[in-house]
Amino acid sequence: MIHHTDEELLAAELKIDNPLQQSGLVWALPDGAKFKAIRNLYAYSAWPNDKVPCAMCGFPNHKFGFTVEFESGELMLMGSSCGAKIAGETWQQQENAMRDLGNRQYYLRLLERAKAADEKLVRAIWALERRFDQISRLHVRFRKQLPEAYELLIQQCRKGEPVLEVKEMRENEAAKYATAGQSVPKFVENVLFRHRLQGTGFFFSEDPLLEFQSAMKDIESLFAVARATAGKSTNALSLVCRKARAALEVLGKLVEGVNETPKFFAPRNLEGVSQWLNHLGLRHDLYSIEGQSLCWNDGADTVKIDFPPPYEDAIDHARLTRLSAALQLNETRLVWGRD
Ligand SMILES: [Zn+2]
């Protein structure tokens, strides 16, 4: 078994899809054959229309199998049980080693694409930091000045319920006239107030700046690891790939949140929110809207909170899409199968 450097491993053909194309194949065990190594694994691409037989036992329908190399240079295709018969204990070791190398090669190839990704793109995404900072400040002010309202709205959004509703139970008039034996409910539900909440994406994160920075750090770690893989375990490579994949998802959500924020702070939506809060009767305050401000009156004073909405252009998703395409981290893992 050859010990590959990461560079050699990247180019190595550990897995092939047409084992029949190799030269030097023999279909019977050569006289005095001495097992040298497992040369590669195959997953036959023409399967199940065409099948690869085991050259040792003739088992006819392999999709997955191994190319075995003998000291003489001759090659033979076989399944793992026949391989174990000719190679003894070393077979399992070699099979495991091949599997580990294939695993590492998969991550090396993903990271190789990351190296090739345009770093300018990452800088362009970092430039969005200011926008996330604005939204985080908005959260801080909202939470500080209207803590109850802030909590209630977050709960509502977490429930995935964008409708603000106030209901009461009222006596059912029909119940008075019901004859015996008729089943009529005594009380019915009455909707007093209903407002469809807009811009719920504002509440995706309570601190979008922090989440943005942490996601970007995970993406930068991926670039750093991609530039120097030597000495790092395959698990470490897999971890940075997983983290970067999660980071891209978070970034997508955060961008959506920024883009939805102006909808939350639109006067008509704030009006609905303030009426809902009044219905709930939080403390003895009354909420109202004055221009762009949400006000409340605590009986003695009117407190006015200005939430200057970040009326900037929406963030273009295309940058993120380009980044994930460049990193191609959505690629599904190849199956390392066996017969
Ligand atoms: Zn066989």
Q: Which of 44, 46, 68, 47 is nearest to 56 (CA)?
A: 68
Looking at the domain assignment, is residue 249 inside a domain? yes
Q: Is the pTM of this model over 0.85?
A: no
3-state secondary structure of 134: helix
* Helix ranges, the chain (H): 6-11, 80-87, 89-116, 119-126, 129-145, 147-158, 173-176, 208-227, 234-264, 267-280, 318-327
253 & 132 share domain: yes
Looking at the domain assignment, is residue 238 inside a domain? yes
Q: How far apart are the first and last CA of the chain?
A: 22
The tokens describing 227, both together, are: 């530039």
List, for residues 44-55, the tens digit of each pLDDT value. 999 889 889 999
CA of 333 to the centre of ligand 1 (A): 27
Identify the band that residue 310 occupies on the pLDDT scale cut at 50, 70 and 90.
low
**What whole-number distance in Å separates Cα of residue 26 and Cα of residue 272?**
79
Looking at the domain assignment, is residue 72 inside a domain? yes
Q: What number is the average pLDDT over the span 226-240?
A: 94
List, for residues 152-186, the tens digit of each pLDDT value. 999 998 888 789 998 888 888 888 787 777 788 88
CA of 35 to the centre of ligand 1 (A): 15
Structural domain count of the chain:
2
CA of 103 to the centre of ligand 1 (A): 25
55 & 131 share domain: no
323 & 333 share domain: yes
CA of 59 to the centre of ligand 1 (A): 6
The tokens describing 168, both together, are: 């009461």
CA of 323 to the centre of ligand 1 (A): 46
List, for residues 177-220, the tens digit of each pLDDT value. 877 777 888 888 889 899 999 999 999 999 999 999 999 999 99
The answer to whether the beta carbons of residues 60 and 90 sit under 8 Å apart is: no
Which residue carries 């190789």 as its tokens?
A: 112
47 & 108 share domain: yes
189 bridge partner residues: 169
CA of 40 to the centre of ligand 1 (A): 16
106 & 211 share domain: no
CA of 9 to the centre of ligand 1 (A): 28
Lowest-confidence segment of 27-41, 105-119, 139-153, 253-267 by average pLDDT? 105-119
List, for residues 43-82, the tens digit of each pLDDT value. 899 988 988 999 999 988 778 899 999 999 999 999 989 9
Residue of 211 and 102 predicted with greater confidence: 211
Side-chain half-sphere of 54: how many Cα atoms within 13 Å?
Answer: 17
Identify the band that residue 291 occupies on the pLDDT scale cut at 50, 70 and 90.
low
Residue where a domain stops, chosen among 81, 96, 115: 115
CA of 62 to the centre of ligand 1 (A): 9
CA of 33 to the centre of ligand 1 (A): 16
122 & 230 share domain: yes
Residue of 306 and 154 predicted with greater confidence: 154
Q: Is 38 exposed, middle or buried (0-12, 13-18, 19+ CB in 10 A)?
A: buried
Q: Which of 66, 61, 63, 84 is nearest to 25 (CA)?
A: 66
CA of 82 to the centre of ligand 1 (A): 5
The answer to whether the beta carbons of residues 237 and 243 sit under 8 Å apart is: no
Looking at the domain assignment, is residue 170 inside a domain? no
Q: What is the pLDDT of residue 338?
A: 47
32 & 98 share domain: yes
Residue where a domain stops, chosen among 58, 91, 115: 115
133 & 66 share domain: no
CA of 77 to the centre of ligand 1 (A): 9
**What whole-number distance in Å separates Cα of residue 328 and Cα of residue 325?**
5
CA of 166 to the centre of ligand 1 (A): 72
For the chain, how many helices (H) and strands (E)?
11, 9
Q: Is 41 exposed, middle or buried (0-12, 13-18, 19+ CB in 10 A)?
A: buried
Residue 298 clears pLDDT 70, i.e. is over it: no
Range of the domain at 78: 6-115
247 & 133 share domain: yes
Q: What number is the average pLDDT over the span 4-23?
A: 90
CA of 11 to the centre of ligand 1 (A): 29
Residue where a domain stops, chosen among 58, 92, 115: 115
CA of 84 to the centre of ligand 1 (A): 10
CA of 232 to the centre of ligand 1 (A): 37
CA of 85 to the centre of ligand 1 (A): 9
Sequence letter at residue 310: P
Q: What number is the average pLDDT over the span 91-104?
A: 89
Q: What is the pLDDT of residue 145?
A: 81
CA of 76 to the centre of ligand 1 (A): 11
Looking at the domain assignment, is residue 173 inside a domain? no
CA of 102 to the centre of ligand 1 (A): 23
